[in-house]
Structure 1
Amino acid sequence: MANKVETKLIDPIYQSLQKERYVTLATIDHETGAPNVSALSWVYAPDDSRILAAVDNRSRIVENLRQHPAAVMNIIVNQSTYSISGNAHIRKEKLEDVPLKLAQIELVVSEVRDVMFYGSKISMEPAYEKTYDERAAAKLDEQVLEAMKKAQP
C-alpha cells in the first residue's frame, strides 16, 4: 500500500523544526544538472507550509537555487524518514545580527512523504556535536535562530 502524501508538515515534523536540527537538502547543481546534497542544521519552520534555513551565502546551495528552485529536504523524526519537496528561494541575502554572512532560504512545502522502507523504523535519530567552543556555538545558534524568526514577513 502506498504511503499517504501530505501537502503540509505533519505535527511531529513541524515540532522538530522549532529548533536546530540535522537535515539534508537536495538541490539541482547549477553546473552539472546532477543532484547535490548538503547537510544543514540551522532550520526553522515558522508554520506548516514553509521551512527556513540559514546557509553560508557562498554555499553552492545559493547558486543552485537561483538556477533551479526545486529542492527536497530529508529529515529523520517520529521513528521514520521524511522527504519534504517544494520550491526554494533565497529569501534574504544576509541575515542581520549574525556575525557570519548567512543567506536565508525558504522552502515552500508542496509534498511530504514518509520514505522509510517497509517494515522498519528508526530506533535512534542522528546526533551531532559542535567541534568548536561550546559557548560560542550555543551563542551563534541562538543568534541565527532569532535572526531567522525576526526576518519573517
Structure 2
Amino acid sequence: MANRIEPKLIPELFDELQTERFVTVATVDYETGGPSVNAISWVIASDEETVVFAVDRRSKIVENVKYNHLVVINLIANESTYSISGEARILKERLENVPLKLSLIRVCIHEVKDVMFYGSKISTEPGYEKTYDEKAADRLDRQVIEAMKNSVDN
C-alpha cells in the first residue's frame, strides 16, 4: 500500500485510533518557523475525518497551533507508517473532569498518506511503558480518554 493517499482515515486506521497509542505530532514552531515534533499518546479519532488529542496546556504544541494551524500526525499501524495531515484548532483550552491541566486539540483531516518506503512493512509497532504508578496511570488514561470523547460528543 506504499504511497496510497486518502482524503480520510481508512477503517483500519480509524479502529487503531480508538484507544490511547503512540503517535508523533509535527507542528510549525511559532518562534523559529521550523519544524517541531512531539510524541503523544492521548489521541483518538472521533470520526473518519477528525482526530482529537490532549496535551498539557503549557505544551509548545498549543502555542504552535495558535500561530499555524497546519499539523501532521505520524501513525505507525497496519504494518505501515502514515502521515495524517490537517488543520488543527484548540477545541478546549482546559479539558474538564481530569486532574491535569490539558488542552484538547481537534484536527480536521485533509489527507492520509502511506509514507512507508518501497518494498517494506513494519514488523513490530512501537511500544511504551508508563514510568509512574501503574494504577494511577491507568486511572488517568481512562479519565482523559473519557473526557476527550465526551468533549467531542458535546
TM-score category (smaller protein):
over 0.9
Report the alpha carbon displacement of residue 3 of structure 1 after superposing the two structures with TM. 2.5
- The residue aligned with 1:121 is 121
CA distance in 2, matches of 1:11, 1:27: 25
Q: Which amino acid aligns with 2:52?
A: L
- RMSD over aligned CA atoms reads 1.2
- Distance in 2, matches of 1:67 and 1:132, equals 33
- One-letter code aligned to 1:139: R
Write the letter of the residue equivalent to 2:130: K
4+ residue stretches of structure 1 with deviation over 4 A? none
Q: Secondary structure at the match of 2:119?
A: coil
Q: Is the 8 A contact 2:3 2:116 kept in 1?
A: no
Name the amino acid aligned to 1:98: V
Identity, in percent, stands at 59
Structure 1 residue 12 displacement after superposition = 1.2
Q: Deviations over 1:49-107 (max 9, x none)?
A: 00000000000000000000000000000000000000001100011110000000001
Aligned twin of 1:112: 112
**TM-score of the superposed pair, with normalisation by structure 2:** 0.97
Residue 75 (structure 1) aligns with: 75
Partner amino acid for 1:141?
A: D
The amino acid across from 2:134 in the alignment is E
One-letter code aligned to 1:119: G
Aligned to 2:26: 26
**Using the alignment, how far apart are the partners of 1:40 and 1:4 within structure 2?**
25
In the alignment, what sits opposite 2:50?
50
2:100 aligned with 1:95: no
SS in 2 for 1:110: strand
CA distance in 2, matches of 1:145, 1:4: 30
Unmatched 5+ residue regions in structure 2?
none
Distance 2:4 2:52 in 1: 24
Superposed counterparts of 1:135-150, under 5 Å: 135-150=135-150
Output the CA distance in 1 between the equivalents of 2:3 and 2:94. 38
What's the counterpart of residue 14 of structure 1? 14
Q: Which residue of 2 aligns with 1:131?
A: 131
CA–CA separation in structure 1 for the residues paired with 2:46 and 2:87: 16
Aligned residue pairs total 153
Task: Supply the distance in 1 between the matched residues of 2:113 and 2:129 (Cα, whole angstroms).
Answer: 28
How far does residue 4 in structure 1 lie from its aligned partner after superposition? Answer: 2.6
- 1:61 aligned residue: 61
**Structure-1-length-normalised TM-score:** 0.98
> Residue 145 of structure 1: SS of its match in structure 2?
helix
CA distance in structure 2 between the aligned counterparts of 1:137 and 1:32, rounded to whole angstroms: 34
